[in-house]
Amino acid sequence: AQTVTQSQPEMSVQEAETVTLSCTYDTSENNYYLFWYKQPPSRQMILVIRQEAYKQQNATENRFSVNFQKAAKSFSLKISDSQLGDTAMYFCAFIPGAQKLVFGQGTRLTINP
């Protein structure tokens, strides 16, 4: 089965701190794409970062970076210098092989002033 697990239903940090969201996945595929999506209160799904499984280098987008551990099937998201606007639901997701986008349960992140 192709599954994604986010073990942290909720997290809360102070503004400017660094926070890491965890994600593990299960697949027998060797080629796949991994994603982190942000869903703010508007409920619009926003792509935060993407990682191709065949690339060993971890993806980075400004304050957002990932720690991709293929052997461990782990894909965590680190948010540096967190901002109030980072408050949102965060979903880990992946596309195993040629299949469809599979989502985790989500982590509700709150950035406190």
Asked if 49 and 66 touch (Cβ cutoff 8 Å), the reply is yes
Comparing CA positions, the residue from 27, 65, 79 lying closest to residue 57 is 65
Asked if 36 and 92 touch (Cβ cutoff 8 Å), the reply is yes
Which residue from 18, 30, 44, 62 is in contact with another protein, where contact means CB under 8 A?
Answer: 44
Asked if 61 and 48 touch (Cβ cutoff 8 Å), the reply is yes
The least distance separating another protein from the CB of residue 33, rounded to whole angstroms, comes to: 5
Asked if residue 91 binds another protein (CB under 8 A), the reply is yes
Report the residue number, 42 or 57, with the smaller CB distance to another protein.
Answer: 42
Which residue from 23, 59, 95, 111 is in contact with another protein, where contact means CB under 8 A?
Answer: 95
CA distance 104 to 6: 6
Per-residue x/- marks for another protein, 6-35, CB under 8 A? x--x-----------------------x-x
| Secondary structure percentages of the chain, helix, strand, coil, to 5 | 5, 55, 45
Report the residue number, 95 or 111, with the smaller CB distance to another protein.
Answer: 95
Binding site for another protein (CB under 8 A): 4, 6, 9, 33, 35, 42-45, 47, 50, 91, 93, 95, 98, 100-106
